[in-house]
A and B are shown apart, each in its own frame.
Chain A
Amino acid sequence: MKGRLAYTGITAALVFFAGYAALFLAPDEATMHAVQRIFYFHVGSWNAMFCALFVVFCANVAYLLTRKQKYDALGVSGVEVAVMCCTIGLVTGPLWAKPVWGIYWTWDARLTSTFILWLLYIAYLLLRGLLEDPEKKASLSAIFGIFAFLDVPMVYLSNRLWRTQHPQPVILGGAGSGMAPMIAKVLVLCIVAMFFLMVLVFIDRYRLEQLRNECEELRFEIESRSAQVQSLPPSAAQRMSS
């Protein structure tokens, strides 16, 4: 409990400083000015999303191999957190694109791929909602999760064969990439802050899922016990209830 409190405190401080640094400390960008500052959170949320999806993929494989319920809980919490991060990225992107590109949306490789990725993981959550049996729900959604994860690089590759409008990667992006040292520092801070925030939400969601499962098990046990009591002869039932 103490550790959780400390972690929440660290995350809150990091998010606060990241927000401050992105808005006030980072230098003004030469051509885009204030609009560019959304970039710090945009990149941070994508990074957090990919980390969450990687955990989801590992959890899906681990579930199928071990059948431990905790991996299923890890998978579904990860997908929910990743969809949240993806939504942040998909909303901040067009907000930036309208003043800079002149349009909100373009069918460019990265935009299209992330949109498909968002749809895929929404379908994952829908599938879970429509499966009744808990074990089927866990194993079938794990299978779908693995298929979806395999699909993502192919979506990107197939789109890459088209013309692309998204800014080239500024980190390790080859010739012409790179950024001012201060911008880089603020970006790293923002990426770390978003990552910590993602982990915080992830852990909370995971605990919630575990509590829900525990609740479900207890309810099931109460039902089966009350059925037992009802099937007993009246004298024995009285003895058990007293």
Chain B
Amino acid sequence: MTTVGAAGILLGKELRLEFRSRELLSATIIFALVVVVLFSFAFDPTAAESRRYGPGLLWIAFLFAGSLMLNPSFSREQTNETLDALRMAPISPFAILLGKMLANFIFMSVAELVLVPVFAVLYNISIVGIVWRLVLVLSLGTTGLVVTGTVFSAVSAQARMRELLLPLLLLPILTPLLIAAVESTASLFQEQPSLDRTRVAFLAGFDIVFLTASWLLCDYLLED
């Protein structure tokens, strides 16, 4: 079976599992909403201030929500030791990782799809004219988040205190992604929106570097 085909099957399994209960997704969305609302209580921003701090807040909410959401990705497999079953299947280990990455990407995207319009309304930012450019930035940023996050979820699932460990491992690694994503979102939220090519290229570079690294290292990551 090809890697992509196997990843597709695993993606289907992850989606079925999640949409049966929708627990993870609703918890992630509510958590990110709580962060967004708490921010407005903590700083009480004016319109100009929300334009300035909004992008940072949005990405901090995504990163925190993501680092919580990615936790069960592998630890869920440990309850019935189903990861061993997956490893026994005649597929490449990268297919397992890729299937989970795709599933996590879809979950994060759904959460963002709900969150961004709510954010735009609450902070009075118009996103009508910049939808496609915003989608590009969001999807590049989310790819970087889920690629590193899924790998580290596999790492932290095997440790003690894994719920606490994952954000500790993940958030410092994501600093360059956070900076580039926030800056390019900020230039989209300006009165004259523009897409910064360097930052978008940087985001794409981040995704490629860590996707390649996880492809090279997945044999070691998922071995028993």
Contact = CB atoms under 8 A, between A and B. Distances in A.
Nearest to A65: B220
Q: Which of B162, B198, B209 has the most CB of A within 10 A?
A: B209
A139 interface: yes
Contacts, number: 79
Interface in A103-132: 116, 119-120, 123, 126-127, 130-132
B158 A140 contact: yes
B220 A139 contact: yes
A150 B179 contact: no
A119 to B, nearest CB: 4
B151 A147 contact: yes
A146 interface: yes
Interface stretch (B88-96, B100-108, B122-130, B168-176): B168-176
Nearest to B160: A130
A120 B173 contact: yes
Given A132-B160, A146-B213, A147-B148, A127 B175 contact: no
A154 B220 contact: no
A148 B173 contact: yes
Contacts of B155: 127, 140, 143-144
A147 B152 CA distance: 10
A151 interface: yes
Contacts of A116: 172, 175
A147 B168 contact: no
Interface of B: 148, 151-152, 155-156, 158-162, 165, 168-169, 172-173, 175-176, 179-180, 183, 198-199, 202, 205-206, 209-210, 213, 217, 220-221, 223
Nearest to A154: B176
Closest 7 A/B residue pairs (Cβ)? A158-B176, A130-B159, A154-B176, A158-B179, A119-B172, A130-B160, A140-B155
Nearest to A117: B172
Interface of A: 64, 116, 119-120, 123, 126-127, 130-133, 136, 139-140, 142-144, 146-148, 150-151, 154-155, 157-159, 161
A150 B173 CA distance: 9
B158 A131 contact: yes
B190 to A, nearest CB: 17
B223 A139 contact: yes
Nearest to A112: B175
B158 A147 contact: no
B193 to A, nearest CB: 19
Nearest to B164: A130
Contacts of A131: 158-160
A39 B176 CA distance: 28
Given A132-B160, A161-B198, A126 B217 contact: no
A154 B180 CA distance: 10
A127 B173 contact: no
A127 B160 CA distance: 9
Contacts of B198: 161
16 contacts: A126-B165, A126-B168, A127-B155, A127-B156, A127-B159, A130-B159, A131-B158, A139-B223, A143-B220, A144-B152, A150-B213, A151-B172, A154-B176, A154-B209, A157-B176, A158-B179
B175 A155 contact: yes
Q: Which of B155, B161, B162, B165 has the most CB of A within 10 A?
A: B155
Contact of B165 (A127, A132, A147, A150): A127
A136 B148 CA distance: 19
A140 B168 CA distance: 15
Nearest to A63: B220
B159 to A, nearest CB: 4
Contacts of B161: 130
A143 B214 CA distance: 9
Contacts of A150: 209-210, 213
A123 B168 contact: yes
A142 B176 CA distance: 21
Contact of A161 (B168, B172, B183, B217): B183
